[in-house]
């Protein structure tokens, strides 16, 4: 009897232990994000806290790196299985798919997702007809302008063409309002490629034709010629050749630029009276076009969230991605990055207080021009970055610099 009762007690203890371990079982996933532009680190942490409250059995370790470190961190961690969820740029799915970095999640993407998300957003995560994640940051570059400076210069409307931008900047300079009215992010980094792509789209250029470089001709050459002439004319801040997007934001917020090309996030940051000297004076329009060629211009600067092939917890990783990219989450945090969901643009929670930005977004997001889709994108981008720098510094004429980039692109 004692034996059987002790067996019962032992059995009860084992059952209790198994329930306890189940109740407190916790899966930890590691997620890699970017510490600049779009959603702030505080926003990502707040979204993640909301997710873990809904899913107490999943813990999320967050890591933030500058955009410039995002690609290499993702690739280098694959061997050690470091990340479950990674943020990736629209330019990387071809490379990541070819090198088995991201999981094909086509079977996880629901019909509701397919119907609800803006069609252009899906291009961020697709390669070869497959889905490698969910779009999360839907973004393009806009032309920001200082309303007060334009008014003082007697300029009634912001420029509709790139030529008008140069003319208006000259007027502002000649009237002694600002020495260098335009700020760009032309450092030898991906930032410069985004500005260059915006101009390529305006001039109707092609990066590639039949898989071979074509940016050294036509609109691609026109775009770099415009950059060089703007730089040489004295209307562009000479430090633009070292600026990234955050530098541009700071210069604009300080009142030291009348015009700046930048991402969505700058609108509300530059309108924040706590940190900005130009709050309430910030205007935003789609990036200009070229007379006879285009009405507006735009680069696809969107980013997605994907599950790595190294992840040991793909179901939990996808659950986290679905939460972070959901319409409810995105609508709640729509001040630094606009939602991927079509119907969000009619929601007062999203539009209130940023009607001007939404109006520009409806035009700009529809005109987004892609950087080239190729597994060798990194080599191509590096070659183009060097060509832009050499041309700005006067070390090489644009024609020669782009021809050399075409040869060095690996294509």
Q: Tens-of-pLDDT digits for all 411 residues of the chain?
A: 444 444 444 444 444 444 444 445 699 999 999 987 789 999 999 999 999 999 999 999 999 999 989 999 999 999 887 899 999 999 999 999 999 999 999 999 999 999 999 988 998 999 999 999 999 999 999 999 999 999 999 999 999 999 999 999 999 999 999 999 999 999 999 999 999 999 999 999 999 999 999 999 999 999 999 999 999 999 999 999 999 999 999 999 999 999 999 999 999 999 999 999 999 999 999 999 999 999 999 999 999 999 999 999 999 999 999 999 999 999 999 988 999 999 999 999 899 999 999 999 999 998 999 999 899 999 999 999 999 999 999 999 999 999 999 999 988
Question: What is 27-139+301-362's CATH superfamily?
Answer: Periplasmic binding protein-like II (3.40.190.10)
The answer to whether 27-139+301-362 and 142-299+376-408 have equal CATH topology is yes
Measured distance CA(124)–CA(51) in Å, rounded: 24
Q: Copy the structure tokens of residue 365.
A: 């997001």
Structural domain spans, the chain: 27-139+301-362, 142-299+376-408
Please provide the CATH number assigned to the domain covering 142-299+376-408. 3.40.190.10
Any residues with CB less than 8 A from the CB of 9 and at least 6 apart, and which? Answer: none
If you ran DSSP here, which 8-state letter would residue 164 be given? H
Q: Are 140 and 155 in contact (CB under 8 A)?
A: no
Measured distance CA(36)–CA(103) in Å, rounded: 25
3-class secondary structure, 212: strand
* 105: Cα within 13 Å, side-chain hemisphere: 30
């Amino acid at each position: 009897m004692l034996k059987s009762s002790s067996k019962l007690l032992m059995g009860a203890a084992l059952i209790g232990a198994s329930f306890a371990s189940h109740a407190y079982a916790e899966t930890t996933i590691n997620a890699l994000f970017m510490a600049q532009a779009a959603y702030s680190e505080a926003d990502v942490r707040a979204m993640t806290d909301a997710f873990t409250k809904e899913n107490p059995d999943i813990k999320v370790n967050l890591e933030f790196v500058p955009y410039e470190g995002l690609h290499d961190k993702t690739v280098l961690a694959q061997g050690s299985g470091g990340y479950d969820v990674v943020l990736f740029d629209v330019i990387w799915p071809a490379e990541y798919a070819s090198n088995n970095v991201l999981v094909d999640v086509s079977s996880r993407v629901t019909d509701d997702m397919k119907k609800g998300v803006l069609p252009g957003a899906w291009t961020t995560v697709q390669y070869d007809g497959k889905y490698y994640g969910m779009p999360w940051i839907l973004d393009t570059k806009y032309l920001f302008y200082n309303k007060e400076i334009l008014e003082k210069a007697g300029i009634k409307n912001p420029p509709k063409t790139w030529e008008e931008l140069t003319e208006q900047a000259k007027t502002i300079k000649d009237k002694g309002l600002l020495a260098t009215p335009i700020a760009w992010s032309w450092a030898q980094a991906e930032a410069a490629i985004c500005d260059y792509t915006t101009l390529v789209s305006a001039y109707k250029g092609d990066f590639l034709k039949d898989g071979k470089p074509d940016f050294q001709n036509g609109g691609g050459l026109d775009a770099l010629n415009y950059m060089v002439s703007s730089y040489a004319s004295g209307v562009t801040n000479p430090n633009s050749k070292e600026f990234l997007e955050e530098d541009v934001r700071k210069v604009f917020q300080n009142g030291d630029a009348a015009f700046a090309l930048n991402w969505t996030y700058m609108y509300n940051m530059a309108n924040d009276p706590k940190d900005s000297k130009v709050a309430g004076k910030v205007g935003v329009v789609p990036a200009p076009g070229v007379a006879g060629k285009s009405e507006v211009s735009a680069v696809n600067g969107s980013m997605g969230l994907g599950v790595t092939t190294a992840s040991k917890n793909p179901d939990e990783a996808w659950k986290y991605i679905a939460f972070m990219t959901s319409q409810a989450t995105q609508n709640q945090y729509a001040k630094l990055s606009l939602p991927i969901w079509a119907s969000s643009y009619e929601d007062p929670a999203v539009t209130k207080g940023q009607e001007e930005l939404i109006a520009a977004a409806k035009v700009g997001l529809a005109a987004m021009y892609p950087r080239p889709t190729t597994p060798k994108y990194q080599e191509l981008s590096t070659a183009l970055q060097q060509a832009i720098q050499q041309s700005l510094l006067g070390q090489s004429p644009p024609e020669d610099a782009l021809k050399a980039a075409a040869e060095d692109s690996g294509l």
